[in-house]
Amino acid sequence: MTAMAHEPMPAQNDSLLKGFLALETPAGFRAELIEGEIVVTPPTDGDHEDYLGLIIEQVLYESAIRMQVSGYKGLVLPGADDQPADHTIPDATFAPRELRLFRGAEPWMPSDGVAMVVEVTSSKPRNDRVAKRHAYARAAIPLYLLVDRGKSAVTLFSEPKGDDYLTIHTALFGDRLRLPAPFSFDLETADFV
């Protein structure tokens, strides 16, 4: 049986991954490999960072257990179908502090122990809404929080199964959104308006 022309070949996947890992991006830019596509995003704007800061502050002060956060930590996740492993850089990655997950970690680390990843939409919102959601679900990351600036809403994806999440809760900016254990608090979005 021969492979169809549109199916990636193992040698192509190896070349794609090697090329991706060798990329040198300009200062402030991020390169990610998501579902077989190299995605380069420019530096974020101030509103992006403001939303992110509001979330990080609440998680660190309100979470039921102490959390550790890493901004822009590279994660290696299972690839889709026959694609190479996904390499994503969430805007924020949270893990229980007791795990000390980030200490000594390589630039690209596995997602084992990650409790939640956060993305704030920017120049390529479709990647955050679809491709990254699928990548995080495939990696069985328990919670994915998406701040969708285009929709003025915050969405929490939970219960990963296969390449998606079974449960989705959305709150419009200004409303509260419940973060389940291990966070166990209501995320306040009034300052997002």
String of DSSP letters for 13-54: HHHHHHHHHT--PPTT-EEEEETTEEEEEPPP-HHHHHHHHH
Distances from the Cα of 57 to the Cαs of 24, 60, 62, 95, 135, in angstroms?
32, 5, 8, 15, 26
pLDDT of 4 reads: 43
What is the structure's pLDDT at 3?
43
Consecutive H or E run containing 125:
helix 125-126
Average pLDDT over residues 9-16: 71
Q: Is the peptide bond before 142 cis (omega within 30 degrees of 0)?
A: no
Contact 175, 186 (CB under 8 A): no
Give 124-140 pLDDT, tens digit per residue: 899 999 999 999 999 99
The yes-or-no verdict on residue 5 having pLDDT over 50 is no
For the stretch 22-40, pLDDT in tens is 888 888 888 999 988 888 8
Rounded-to-integer distance, Cα 155 and Cα 18, Å: 34
CATH class of 10-192: alpha beta
Return mean pLDDT, the chain.
91
DSSP assignment of 55-89 equals: HHHHHHHH-SS-EEEESS-EEEEPPSTTSPPEEE-
- Asked whether the beta carbons of 192 and 51 are under 8 A apart, the reply is yes
- Which of the four pLDDT bands, split at 50, 70 and 90, describes residue 66? very high
Higher-pLDDT residue of 98, 18: 98
**Domain extents in the chain:** 10-192
Percentage of the chain with pLDDT > 70? 94
- How far apart CA 18 and CA 12 sit, in angstroms, is 10
* pTM given for the model: 0.89
d(CA 147, CA 41): 17
The pairing of beta strand 143-148 with beta strand 116-120 = parallel
Nearest to 184 by CA among 62, 90, 91: 62
DSSP string, 127-152: IIIIIHHHHHHHTT-SEEEEEETTTT
